[in-house]
Structure 1
């Protein structure tokens, strides 16, 4: 059962990263709404397909938040995170293959950047965006949430945070989504990737605490 859940997280993260970052690359990063919708629709599609298997975390920040609130155990959280990172890496490798096959530029793989707002600005922005995103997830999937509409709420929440974040940091809110392009792109993307790992994890933990203590999502 754990293997099935891990494979579901692998596939879900693969789809999110391939379609999300792939859309960002082929549009040149300029069409904010299209990119935001690509990420959001990917989550909606996966939520209603793999959600019944693994819960469709497809994001280490979500998994850590769920672990903080004791919705999953340590072993399961570890399996999820490894699966998510591997899914993201395979997605970026696939995107790179597609770009090379089409003879397109491969310097942009959808990597995040601190160039626009600086390191501190990126940290603050990513904590806030992830806090909002994971708070929505915790609320709609909690005991007081409405499971029928959870996928839609989560997907549109991801669209929302991308609308603000794309022009600022490229929007991470997901360490796996950020690590993979950085590995392949190297350079500044790899140097600054810690920001897009640490900040979303902090935002996820804060959202878990807020949801439990203020929203009573666990009761």
Structure 2
């Protein structure tokens, strides 16, 4: 990508599909910030902020943070200088209402591509249970994980049709090694954006 190119990307997929890992690689490749609402929320929880306290109670119930709160946080982040040349969103928008809110923030500068990581639910649940054991994540019980998968199916999956209709959806098999998935993403983005995307 050239210095003057602006690229606005989104990565979506079920919780545990490996979005965070791939997001950092994509963002580095394009020289744009990876903006993860999950990271923003966790930083506030760790910092003991008022927002963090609110968010922690919501997350521990396996629920999603309310749209109004999430929209404000994302709008503030996109207004920062490092996002002027583009960004990669991870974890937002999660539903159709948030898509419309994002459309308003971008003021006609639509997303260039949406990477959809597809993964089998049982594979994802097993992956998240293993991560919970390794990292000691108290919120990652099997019941909560499966509830999150159901919430994703109900609220976020409709975005797949919406972005497909807009002609910007890039479907990628999310199962396999990190490098294998990264290569598939690079191929998909190259086809969508019409520009060479290097795989490191």
- TM-score normalized by the length of structure 1: 0.33
- TM-score normalized by the length of structure 2: 0.35
* Structure with more helix by fraction: 1
